[in-house]
Amino acid sequence: MVDRMTIERLREILDAYGAEPLHWPPAERITAQAFAARDPRAVALVAEAEALDRLLNMAPVEAPSAALAARVLARRPKVSWLKSLWRDLFPGTPVWRPALGLCAALMLGVGVQAAAADRLGLNESGEVATTTEDTGTDIAPLSGGETISEEDVL
Amino acid sequence: MVEDPDAGLVEATGRGDAEAASRLVARHLPRMTALARRMLGDSAEAEDVAQDVFLKVWTQAARWKPGAAKFETWLHRVAINACYDRLRKKRGVGLDEIEERADTAPDPEQTLGQNQTALAVDAALQTLPARQRAAITLCHYQGLTNIEAASTLEISVEALESLLSRGRRALKEKLRHLAGAGASATRTAQA
């Protein structure tokens, strides 16, 4: 906030921004307004700037047509519900980040499953191998190679 | 961190919220069209610029990062650059050399009413070099602060003030014969 004002600086402000204090630099506005109100030399300067402001305010401006607004909105790309859901779940996050995390988790899962299958001696269909040929190792299957039927349990 | 009244709407637009997009258009389309109209002096071209600006909004909204700059300041920058591009293409010279059009402001005898005065002011604006016109458009008509306008034009505040002063001085000279019209228009409005 500027706390000192001179007639020269006020003239510069009026020459650049006009007579409307709302258009003046925010940091100098209050000081410049107070100065303009108490210094008699400021009156003529403000009046001169006001005259040009009035003319500028007469320059025409047309409101955009409803058709333009419709055209603008029509050019908005359609977002699929999946993408929309994604953006709701991960606002501002690029797609590749969670996708990379998901891939890493999947690969870890596959790796763990493969390692566990190898340790437990499971064959391709997920059954416990019953012979050393099935496991391809010398380790005996944990169940001892016998199949336990449902009746045995009951 | 810049407080941005549009941040929520931009974020929702980026997520594909149609209602937010409509509100964003309602809020900013009139201002963007007015800016382009004052810069280019042609309503049809102004509408084209406004469409280009919003096309950029649609592609950038999902990637918008609040905090760096206000959305509206960014929007003004996109619009001003689009206007500069069109002016360059049209005239094929640098922006500072563009003395836009022959001074078509009517002489005092032709100045019969408020309508003619308005047209004369518009014509006088169009004769300013593009950067001076941009500075006056942003500060006087769009109501941007000096810091926002300087940021939009990517110049210092001192350079902005210099553009504004030169522009207003030139306009005052061109519109000297209409000085009474402004005062009578104000009296009419007050009555």
- Here the CATH number for the domain that contains residue B180 is 1.10.10.10
Asked if residue B53 and residue B122 are part of one domain, the reply reads no
CA distance A28 to chain B (A): 11
Residues B133, B158: one domain? yes
Spatial separation of the C-alpha atoms in residues A19 and A49, rounded to whole Å: 5
Q: Do B47 and B128 lie in a common domain?
A: no
**Of B92, B114, B138, which residue sits at a domain end?**
B92
Whether residue B17 sits in one domain with residue B61: yes
Structural domains in chain B (count): 2
Please, which pLDDT band fits residue B65 given cuts at 50, 70 and 90? confident
One domain for residues B124 and B163: yes
- For A123-132, B56-65, B171-180, which range has the lowest pLDDT when averaged over its residues? A123-132
pLDDT band at A139 (very low <50, low <70, confident <90, very high): very low
Mean local confidence (pLDDT), A114-133? 64
Domain boundary among B59, B92, B125: B92
Q: What Cα–Cα distance (Å) separates residue A20 from each residue in A24, A29, B58, B92, B142? A: 7, 10, 35, 36, 13
Residue A146 has pLDDT above 80, yes or no: no
Who has greater pLDDT, B185 or A81? A81
Residue A46 sits at the vertex; the CA angle it makes with B32 and B104, to the nearest 5 degrees, is 50
Q: Is the per-residue pLDDT at B109 higher than 70? A: no
B62 touches chain A (CB under 8 A): yes
In Å, how far is A23's CA from the nearest CA of chain B? 7
B121 and B168, same domain (yes or no)? yes
Q: Do residues B144 and B82 both lie within one domain?
A: no
The reply to whether B104 touches chain A by the CB within 8 Å rule is no
Q: Are B117 and B174 in the same domain?
A: yes
Specify the pLDDT at position B111: 47
Mean of the pLDDT values across residues B120-142?
96
Which pLDDT score, from 0 to 100, does residue A145 have?
47
Least confident of A67-71, A90-94, B12-16, B143-147: A90-94
Give dist(CA A125, CA A115) in Å, integer.
15
Among residues of chain A, what percentage have pLDDT more than 70? 64
Residue B181 has what pLDDT?
62
**Residue B74: CATH number of its domain:** 1.10.1740.10
Report the candidate in A108, A123, A30, A22 with the shortest Cα–Cα distance to residue B144.
A22
pLDDT tens, position by position, A41-56:
999 999 999 999 999 9
Q: Which residue has the higher pLDDT, B130 or A110?
A: B130
Q: Which two tokens stand for residue B23?
A: 């509100």
Task: Please state the rounded mean pLDDT for residues B131-160.
Answer: 97
Q: Are residues B55 and B81 in the same domain?
A: yes
How many other β-carbons are positioned within 10 Å of the β-carbon of residue B18? Answer: 13
The contact set of A with B (CB < 8 A) is 12, 15-18, 22-23, 25-26, 51-56, 58-64, 68-69, 71-73, 75-77, 79, 83-84, 87-88, 91-92
| Residue numbers of the domain that contains B127 | 101-191
Same domain, B1 and B54: yes
Given B73, B92, B111, the domain boundary residue is: B92
Return the minimum-mean-pLDDT range out of A92-96, B123-127, B145-149: A92-96
- pLDDT above 50 for B58: yes
Same domain, B73 and B142: no
The answer to whether residues B113 and B150 belong to one domain is yes
